[in-house]
Amino acid sequence: MRKVVKKQVLLQGNEACVEGALMAGCRFYAGYPITPATEIMEIMAEKMPETGGVFIQMEDEIASLGAVIGASLAGMKSMTATSGPGFSLMQEHIGFAGMAEVPCVIVDVMRAGPSTGLPTQLSQGDVMQARWGTHGDHPIIVLAPSSVYEFFELTVQAFNLSERYRTPVILLVDEVVAHMREGVILPAKNSLEIEERPHPTVPPEWYIPYADPGTGVPPMPAFGDGYRYHVTGLYHDVRGYPTVRTDEVEPLIHRLFTKISKDFDRLQWFDAFETEDARVTVIAYGCVARAAHRAVRQAREKGLKVGLIKLKILWPFMRRTISGILANSQKVLVPELNVGQISREVKRVNESRCEVVTLNKVDGTPIKPAEILQKLGEIYS
């Protein structure tokens, strides 16, 4: 038997994202140019027609996500990509997609804000906006890759989660991961599990669009399939019709949350490094996790019992995983490229069990391994 040797390819993070999207079955891209996310759009402009998909450049980011939601309602796996200012504009439609339960994937390659900020330097400042940017109570799924391969892998997973739960999924990426080039070996096309949204199994006349089938995720036909139904951003009853009835409004919002929260156990995605005997644990994500990894290695060489938890899912926050870390460490260090966003969540989950130390940088430059190493030395006892 001939051995198939998979070729390593040199890919930029944004290129890997496109590869992941294509493998996941994305066939619609709408976007608006913005650095440092533009490469995704430019590559999509070339690749979509080749795969029989649709690419369109819209007039702004609001329109981009509107078109993406429309295409998804018509049955296509759809995505867009943007950066801070565009992400702000998209918040309105992120809420719509959440309320109307339309699968879609949104990439936010973060840049330093607020406003036009530092175009287009490094930041992790959109963590809380990704969680709470659109108005009203809502669940959200946010993934954060820290390498080129992970950007590929998590893009595939973003589509899978968005289809599985009928919810918008955000890929929160920092500029380093988006623009860095690494050698990666992409998996064969059929080696990955690709999920599709649940489809109705009853004839159209029996179909009740927003009735809970028990999983919390109602089946979703495409417009044109013969299942004529109503989609709205208003609170709606099981038929999709607007309602203000208290006995219909509250169950809806609770279902939107529980369809995801019931699977919290499945959504603990992290990498642990040297955590078993760690007295100090670093909690990091994105490019900062790379620096932290090196710092932890160097600290271990010096005999310090330190470890690292790299978060791949930021929201819903991995309370279970982090609680375990907090219970077993004396201290945790949360380095971030913002004034402290995930560290707030860590403190919330901590409930004063151990000391939470932060290391923040907001000047548009990366946190270096040496800075984390120094901090570890300072707080280690």
Partner 1 sequence: MRQTEHLVHKYLRSSKRFPHIWCAGCGIGIFMQALIRVIDQNEYSKDDIVLISGIGCSGRLPVYVDFNTLHTTHGRALTFATGIKLANPRLKVITVMGDGDAVAIGGNHFIHAARRNVEIASFVLNNSVYGMTGGQSSPTTPYGVITASAPYGNLEPDFDICRLAEAAGAVFVARATVYHTQLLDRLIDKALKKKGAAVVEVVSQCTTYAGHFLKLKSPVDMMKWQKNNSVTVEKAKQQSEAELEGKIVIGVLVDRERPSYHEQYQSLLAEKSKI
Contact between 50 and partner 1 per CB under 8 A:
yes
Contact between 371 and partner 1 per CB under 8 A:
no
Tell me the backbone φ, ψ of residue 222, rounded to 5 degrees.
Answer: -90, 150
- Residue from 114, 202, 211, 228 binding partner 1 (CB under 8 A): 228
CB 34 within 8 A of CB 85: yes
- Residue from 17, 37, 76, 359 binding partner 1 (CB under 8 A): 76
CA triplet 368, 336, 300: central angle to 5 degrees? 50
Contact between 234 and partner 1 per CB under 8 A:
yes
- Residue from 118, 222, 272, 357 binding partner 1 (CB under 8 A): 222
Rg (CA), the chain: 21
Contact between 44 and partner 1 per CB under 8 A:
no
Nearest residue (CB) to partner 1, 118 versus 208: 208
- Residue from 181, 230, 266, 320 binding partner 1 (CB under 8 A): 230
Nearest residue (CB) to partner 1, 92 versus 195: 92
Contact between 241 and partner 1 per CB under 8 A:
yes
| Residue 162: CB minimum distance to partner 1, A | 16
Contact between 67 and partner 1 per CB under 8 A:
yes
Q: Alpha-carbon dihedral of residues 254, 258, 259, 260, nearest 10 degrees?
A: 130
Q: What is the DSSP string of 130-187?
A: HHH-SSSS---EEE---SHHHHHHHHHHHHHHHHHHTSEEEEEEEHHHHH-EEEE-PP
Contact between 173 and partner 1 per CB under 8 A:
no
CB 72 within 8 A of CB 104: yes
| Residue in the block written with tokens 């019709």 | 241
- Residue from 21, 41, 44, 63 binding partner 1 (CB under 8 A): 63
Contact between 78 and partner 1 per CB under 8 A:
yes
Give Dmax over CA atoms of the chain in angstroms: 69
Candidates 9-17, 114-122, 195-203, 221-229; binding stretch for partner 1 (CB under 8 A): 221-229
Contact between 69 and partner 1 per CB under 8 A:
yes
Site string for partner 1, 284-323 (x = CB under 8 A): ----------------------------------------
CB 173 within 8 A of CB 151: yes
- Which two tokens mark 40? 């995704």
- Residue from 11, 28, 218, 338 binding partner 1 (CB under 8 A): 28
| Residues 93-122 close enough to bind partner 1 by CB under 8 A | 93, 96
CA triplet 313, 57, 64: central angle to 5 degrees? 45
